[in-house]
Chain A
Amino acid sequence: MAHDDEQLVLLAQGGDRTAFDQLAERHSTRLRRVLFRITRNCDAAYDAVQEALMRAWQNIGRFESRSQFSTWLTRIGINEASRGLRGSAEPPLELTDQVGERIPAWGARPDEVFESREFLQAVDRVLGELPLDYRTAVTLRDVEGLSTAEAAEILGIGQRALKSRLHRGRMALRAELDDYFKEGYG
């Protein structure tokens, strides 16, 4: 019979490594996806996942189940990934005030253009250029589809702060993609 996360956590807290491995297997795919979007590097994401799992196992006794296990694990993973990124050069994308900004006109392109692989690649590229805090907020909320409350909890910030990062990050992405909206994809 499959156990839910809560049961597996209790077993793991009693020293059951197999139970912890089941938790890890259940949640590591999403964690790796999130950390890849943040680090933009498969090796760095893989390393951060491994480090996060090791720390989670070492500290499972301290986990008090006030949040979901996945939330806790994701927070550990993001801290690990961020540690590796701090100090590296910030991406070039600037966050600017949009007031007074001119928005380019667009041609009559069908909406399917904006579901194309080329468009998704463009979105992914500019996401990688966002400053880390904004990239992380946008990844959790918009790429992974977490709620504002869960994303804020993972990052250890208030919902208002999360929304602020989300808004500025989305607007910066949108501004960067305006050329694509204007010019299309040939």
Chain B
Amino acid sequence: MTPTLNPRKRHHDRCSEVRGQMSDYLDGDLEPSAAAGVERHTRWCPNCRRMLTNLKRTVRGLGGLRDQPISADEA
């Protein structure tokens, strides 16, 4: 991708890149430099920060389903 000098376009591109890395970030599958990049970006980008927080809550909620009864006969 050719770098652009347009700050809004650059921000949009960076948001897109970081959002694509969020799942791997939560799983600890990113290289340290890429993980640091996600942390740096989400510190100052409120939309991406909220998205990452909500994604964490979602993944944690999914883990919580494991102990939930799956049918009335187990409730």
Chain A residues at the B interface, C-beta cutoff of 8 Å: 32-33, 36-37, 42, 45, 98-106, 111, 114-115, 119-120, 122-124, 127, 138, 142-145, 148, 163, 166-167, 170-171, 173-174, 177-178, 181
Contact = CB atoms under 8 A, between A and B. Distances in A.
Contacts of A167: 20, 22-24
Interface string B44-73: 001110110011011111111110101100
- Which one of A105, A124, A138, A174 has the greatest number of beta carbons of chain B within 10 Å? A174
Chain B binding site: helix, strand, loop or mixed by DSSP? Answer: helix
Interface in B1-50: 12, 15-16, 19-20, 22-24, 27, 29, 46-48, 50
20 contacts: A36-B70, A37-B65, A45-B70, A101-B51, A103-B47, A103-B48, A106-B50, A120-B64, A122-B61, A123-B58, A123-B61, A123-B62, A142-B59, A142-B62, A143-B62, A163-B27, A166-B23, A167-B23, A170-B23, A181-B57
Contacts of A124: 65, 68
Given A106-B50, A173-B58, A181-B54, A142 B63 contact: yes
Chain A binding site: helix, strand, loop or mixed by DSSP? Answer: helix
Contacts of A99: 12, 15-16, 19
